[in-house]
Amino acid sequence: MNASPSPPSSPDSTDDEPPLSSREKHLYNLTPHLRIDQSPSLRPISTTTTTTHNNSNNNNNNNSTSRTSSPTTNTPSPPSSPTHAHQQQQYHSSSIPKAYRITRFSRYFIVFSILLSFISIFVMLDSFQHHQRDMDGCQDSFMQPIYIRQTGFDSEMTRFASKYALYLYREKDVDLSDQPTGVPVLFISGHAGSYKQVRSISAETAYAYYQHYTTHPEILKQGVRNLDFFTVDFHEEFSALHGQSLLEQAEYLNDAIDYILKLYPRTRKSRRYPDPTSVLIIGHSMGGVVARSMFLLSNYQPGSINTIITLSTPHILPPAPFDWKISKIYDDMHRFWMNGYAPATTSLESTTTTDTYWTSLKDVMLISIAGGTLDNIVCSDSANVGAFLPPSNGFTVFTTAIPNVWTGTDHLSIYSCKQLVRVLAKSMLDIVDTRRPSQTKPLNERMMVMKKAFLSGLEDRTQDLSLGRPNHSEISDRDLRPLKVGERLIIKNNNVGDDNNNPSIVRLSLLPRSKEITAFSVLTDQPIGNDGSRFSFVFCNMMDRVSSDTTRIICQSADEAAIPVPASTERDNYPFSGRTFSFASYRIEEMKEYQWFGVIDNFDFSTTGSTSSHSHSGGTLTQGGFLIAEPINDKEQNQQHIKKSMSTIAMEGVHVKVASHLFSTIHIPAIESPMLAYHLKVSRQSCSHMFAPFLRQSISTMYESKFYVNLANNEDETDVSLHGRAAFSSYASMQSMRMMDTKNVDQHRGLSLQVWMDPTCEEPLKIDLTIDWYGSAGRIGFRNGIMLLAYAFIMVMLVLAGQIYCYNKTGIFPHFGQGLSFCIRRTLPVIIPIVALCSIYQCTYQQGQGHYLNSAYNVLDDLNVLSVTWHDLLIGNSDPFFWWLPLVGLLMSLGVISFVWLVVEILLHFFASISSFLIGQRIHTWHWCNRDGETRNQKFQRRAITTMILFVLVATCIPYQFVFVVAFLVHIISCIRSLTRTWSAPSLQGYKRANRYYYIQSLLLLMMTLLPFNLPILVVWIRNLSVHWFVPFSSDHNIFAIAPFIIYVELLTGSRKMLPRTKGPWHWGTCVLIYGIVAYTFLYGIKYTHSIYFLSNHMIAWFLLLHVKDSHYGRMTYRYIADHLYPFRSKKHS
């Protein structure tokens, strides 16, 4: 049965389907199973289809004649019947090579990948939001803020005066002066942050100074003064998305520091102290990155910044690496800070540049505070400063490790958490010294203050233990009790006992030193080192006998080593309950020449019965005090080293029995990946105890530790998670290189569990640690979200490569689903093994590198820290246990792209159907948009003028990202028009139009994967317009970054071109280009995500070159110039 004749085509089709030559018509009529481009033999559907082709060909010849004579105003009609369009699609599918046909296997595989991707994404989101989350124990802060705008900081001092604003904070009824008279501090808000976020820290500092410091004149004589907090209003700018905005903020802040320092000679009334030459910096989130980038700019004054405290700042990687300038800023910062500390870390000869860096950074202290698992915006792995900062100049610490804080914080509450703000305020006041021009103490003293304030104290001591003055005294035998070697000291309810529970009342209990003992550990529920503390710890020697019942002794106080730890009783459920114990540990070598470790009991037994003890909080006497002192041998009795691989732990878990000791350590070197979470169960046979067992987890790469209290109830499981090495950071860091050597690498790697239990209960403690797979899913997704985006682009490129290959060989351009089928059957079986081998080698390379830190990193590779190394490739993974992650990401991206293609296909058909209906009803025809009468030259002229206008706008006021989004929307319309034209085409022309539709649909999917690289910058631009900032960004007005896309979209829209078929070098050049982009994206596309867009831009430019080579476009351009510009020049001369 013959198909009905097609209606007359519109004049637009003249550029799409030129008239067939007589040879093409003859070949088509004689051999229906051959394509007009002389492709290999293709199987026809049926005789009916062949007849349809012949009739359509005749109709097409008639239409060709009418088109060449004069244009017509008739509009294309919708498909004559659904059968007609279906036969075209069926023929297109049946004629395609077998490798491209959608088989039952490929259908099942695509459906499986879609289900896998959506189930995985759902599990990751649910796990991330509801599992393995720290408890939020932060208390609210209260303040009465006053913000005083610094109007003197105007356009004469900075070019950004109309964009940003500087304020001075004052606490109402506390800060009585509106003028800065103390020590300047500058607060920098982060991405979309407000300048009012300074209020919690400022208010707490003001109260702490006026209530506690001003009442001690001896402290004021040491140069302590109040802090003047300045804050900057960035109008909630999106600094994490745009590198140019970040640099503008840094430039403005350098100018602001210069202005702030010039205020003090006029506002300070006292001339006893020098004028300040530097300010303290507090940066939240991206504000910390802005603070570090200030050193790179030309308007930075050396020495104007010497202390930086960052809160939840991503120091290692940008959280949204879609802007090329953000990535460049991070690379420049890393290089600057690495080189800046090189004289202190290497033996290389200093160059002039390095000397400049060292002058800027030698006195700079950087403290990075991270919130932990509650921070769902910035991954706390990236807060590690150990990759570029030596331990002498700073460290990274988690809020769960800070004494008297012991709670996680989310991204916003970290600057308002009362417990943290209180510690931060006190530490900043303690490092102030207005007697110095820098307004702060020397670097080593500042570091001592910060370590004491922020570190738990349970880390290995790197400095000598601070002891008190030697004290000679005489003590009677009834107040002195020396214990035997290895015997415990137990004080409970004011009675001194031993392992045999023999009570007595003594003033000084002595534990002897011996060769079998390596350390002493002490735990008590009483405060140590405060005025009126009940217990004191001393190192003693017995001199001689003064009388028959009196002994002369010499002792030195060792209270400095006592630290607070969370209380663990039956009423304590979380470490931030507010109650604390005191713990101290002393190595034998720290005792020096002393032979006894002593505990002095200062309790007044004459006024109180024997059942009272000091309360920890108020210093008053309450019931239930205890102290346990125990000699330990940490190499044999109190320390266990679990030598299990990560694979064994994944299958079996870790099951350990801990003997009944006061303090024990379990070290598991294999557990160091931050992507895994665990379930911890602690059990113990019930018996009477003075306190419930509690546990601390810690890692050495960063100062992260968490306390878990009131364990061993035999029922509940505890969630355990940790942070560690961030992706794309080197295995060795500047801090870890100083902690490790080739002999004890394993001792400083992995997870450490420190357990406290009541040793009077002889029952052992059982610890079961197993992987929480569901809870780990959210951590894996949070750290590898960019991978899904980059691999989705890769999948589109692989499909496009397969489609172009088929088109060049056969003249048939497969639709996207057929391209997916080809990738599943031919491309992925080749790519997957290559990616797997690269991932395995990357992990094993990194692991092997860790055992040779001294030799591999002794000279920091001649300071070439940003050279091409394996940790910069793929997903930046160094854990062999996760070598399979790129493969899973590839499979998930296949499912996501398959689903997106199906949705796009449905939507295009839906809108094309609506368009066809409107065309049939003549609803769309308006006089002002009817261009049917335009000639080819007029169309070309109109498109050229439109393109030139866009170029001018991009070069002056509009970012190229905006034009890309416009081009994307225009391309959607082109796809809809192409689909409607495919339906309305005669049979012969329909195959060509189907090729074109499938091609531009693939380009549409490609542009969809590029949208995330352009939309963030567009949002920043719109945000700037809302605050009336119209100065263009120099980095976003590159014409060449958008020219290929503009020209190509205009070409496809206006002239309805199809990618020319190529062969020989041109064909292989296309293949090499596409697969080269795929290879680069696999290797570097996740770390340098912004490069994906520019690589695509180059590919589109190559496609344009193919069009110019194959068509008369170049000659038309030359003819246009000759016909239009030459008469204009002639008129000008006339």
Q: What is the DSSP string of 1079-1101?
A: HHHHHHTTTTTTHHHHHHHHHHH
Total Cβ atoms within 10 A of residue 1020: 23
Beta bridge partners, 165, equal 233
Question: Three-state SS string across 492-540, please?
Answer: ECCEEECCCCCCECCCEEEEECCCCCCEEEEEECCCECCCCCCEEEEEE
Range list of β-strands (E), 792-878: none
CB 35 within 8 Å of CB 42: yes
- Give the N- to C-terminal CA distance of the chain in Å, as an integer: 67
DSSP classification of residue 638: S
Identify the CA nearest to 907 among candidates 975, 817, 978, 821. Answer: 975
**Degrees to nearest 5, angle at CA 901 with 895 and 907:** 140
Place of tokens 């002002």: 928
**Degrees to nearest 5, angle at CA 277 with 154 and 179:** 55
Q: What is the DSSP string of 857-911?
A: HTTGGGG-TTS--GGGSTT----GGGTTHHHHHHHHHHHHHHHHHHHHHHHHHHH
285 is annotated as an active-site residue:
yes
CB 892 within 8 Å of CB 117: yes
Please report, for residues 110, 127, 751, the alpha-carbon distance to residue 119 in angstroms, rounded to integers and kept in the order given. 14, 12, 31
d(CA 19, CA 448): 85
d(CA 89, CA 712): 68
362-390: burial string, b at 16+ Cβ within 10 Å, e else? ebbbbbbbbbbbbbeebbbbbbbbbbbbb
Residue tagged active-site, from 285, 304, 752, 1055: 285
d(CA 341, CA 386): 12
CB 327 within 8 Å of CB 270: no
Total Cβ atoms within 10 A of residue 33: 13
Return the H-helix or E-strand segment holding 1111. none
CB 962 within 8 Å of CB 1018: yes
Burial (CB count <10 Å: 0-12, 13-18, 19+), residue 570: exposed
Residues in the chain: 1134
Distance from chain centroid for Cα 838:
23
Please report, for residues 426, 563, 580, 684, the alpha-carbon distance to residue 524 in angstroms, rounded to integers and kept in the order given. 26, 11, 9, 21
Please report, for residues 196, 390, 474, 702, the alpha-carbon distance to residue 395 in angstroms, rounded to integers and kept in the order given. 27, 8, 45, 8
CB 52 within 8 Å of CB 989: no
Total Cβ atoms within 10 A of residue 274: 14
Identify the CA nearest to 247 among candidates 329, 158, 124, 168. Answer: 329
d(CA 603, CA 601): 6
d(CA 535, CA 546): 26
Catalytic residue ranges: 285
